Amino acid sequence: MLDASDAHMPFPILIGDIGGTNARFSILADASAEAVNFPNVRTADFETIDDAIKAGVFAKTTLRPRSTILAVAGPINGDEIPLTNCDWVVRPQTMISGLGIEDVLVVNDFEAQALAISALGSDEREQIGPASGDLMASRAVLGPGTGLGVGGLVHARGSWIPVPGEGGHVDLGPRSKRDLEIFPFIETIEGRVSAEQILCGRGIIHLYRAICTADGLEARYSDPADVTSHALAGTDKVAEETISLFATYLGRLAGDIAMLFMAKGGVYLSGGISQKILPALRKPEFRLAFEDKAPHSHWLRSIPTYVVTHPLAALAGLSFYARAPETFGVSTDGRRWRA
């Protein structure tokens, strides 16, 4: 039966962050214990998440979890939960019967990122721009990676309430003269350019190729890591412009999300791409685009922006919740299964 209870989950708790390419796991032995982290698991190497847990966790420890909290990229509706960017399907009932787990909670991957930004330390994030502060106010998180995740963290009645969504699929349009030259060559989805078409790993290549086509040049790279490395090294002008525009468009979207959530507590950039392009995000383009929101630019200038540098932020966020679920407004209705 689906369970809407907010009761504490029994320890030990298996924490899982299931992305499109990698799955990351840790175990909390109890509420005060440090998390035991396990090596990343490539999702393509295992047919099911259950197989990955057996090989990546159970084979490496004698500690057996009684419950699990999983963050997944994809909608959670019913007993079978397909993931957006990999072939796994999470089946909580099968995990209960096959893995001996008593209690399963599945949440959106950006709920986990939102939970993380409730309590990250100053050494687990890097401030971008002059605005600063740790207001107990609503926050937002964006994560360009395999896709583009967006989440909110609303502060109300003394609790942090994570708000999942599909903000990565909002429209992203041209604004400058240069944008109008490039956007006709961006790959579309049924005629529109969503933010995720540019602001993710494959989006870097979409943007790079569009610039090449607009300028009548031959594309030299097909791997986003090549574009990024040449851009940061200053060894390829098209790659440099690609990452500069990527930072600009990310700033525009971050500013939009800040206004949507009234995120006076800050906007956080999570994920591997944000960390890898930190030198580009430190340049003026990101923050100028973030603040360029007339007639509310004065308000945007007061909102801090950060890059999350914690290497396992989603696991940290789920751990915060697992230790003290009563301090968060996480809905478990239709997303919790118990033996």
Q: Which two tokens stand for residue 30?
A: 């109890």
Domain hosting residue 213, numbered range: 121-308
Question: Mean pLDDT throughout 18-38?
Answer: 92
Question: Mean pLDDT throughout 14-20?
Answer: 92
In a domain, 246, yes or no: yes
> What is each CA distance from 271 to 249, 306, 309, in whole angstroms?
16, 12, 9
What pTM value is reported for the model?
0.90
pLDDT at 132: 84
In a domain, 89, yes or no: yes
Same domain, 221 and 199: yes
pLDDT digits (tens, 9 = 90+) for 163-205: 988 889 999 999 999 999 999 999 999 999 999 999 999 999 9
Same domain, 98 and 186: no
Q: What is the CATH number of the domain that holds 302?
A: 3.40.367.20
The percent of residues in the chain predicted with pLDDT above 90, rounded, is: 80
Q: Hey, how many other C-beta atoms are within 10 angstroms of the C-beta on 43?
A: 20
Q: Is 30 buried (19+), middle (13-18) or exposed (0-12) by CB count in 10 A?
A: exposed
In a domain, 3, yes or no: no
pLDDT digits (tens, 9 = 90+) for 250-298: 999 999 999 999 999 999 999 889 999 999 999 999 999 999 999 999 9
Same domain, 153 and 288: yes
In a domain, 203, yes or no: yes
Q: Do the beta carbons of residue 284 and residue 158 sit within 8 Å?
A: no
In a domain, 49, yes or no: yes
Q: How many Cα atoms are found within 13 Å in the side-chain-facing hemisphere of 29?
A: 8
Residue 3 banded pLDDT, cuts 50, 70, 90: very low
Same domain, 304 and 317: no
pLDDT digits (tens, 9 = 90+) for 296-338: 999 999 999 999 999 899 999 999 999 989 889 898 888 999 9
Q: How many Cα atoms are found within 13 Å in the side-chain-facing hemisphere of 249?
A: 31
Same domain, 200 and 185: yes
> What is each CA distance from 243 to 274, 277, 279, in whole angstroms?
11, 8, 10
Same domain, 265 and 144: yes
pLDDT at 6: 61
Same domain, 317 and 250: no
Above 80 in pLDDT, residue 5? no
Q: What is the CATH number of the domain that holds 54?
A: 3.30.420.40
Q: Which two tokens stand for residue 254?
A: 């971050």
Q: Do the beta carbons of residue 27 and residue 80 sit within 8 Å?
A: no
Residue with tokens 């929101």: 293
In a domain, 66, yes or no: yes
The domain tally of the chain equals 2
Report the C-alpha gap between 214 and 217 in whole angstroms. Answer: 8
Same domain, 317 and 301: no
Same domain, 149 and 273: yes
Same domain, 152 and 192: yes
In a domain, 1, yes or no: no
Same domain, 101 and 59: yes
pLDDT at 226: 98
Residue 1 banded pLDDT, cuts 50, 70, 90: very low
Same domain, 87 and 161: no
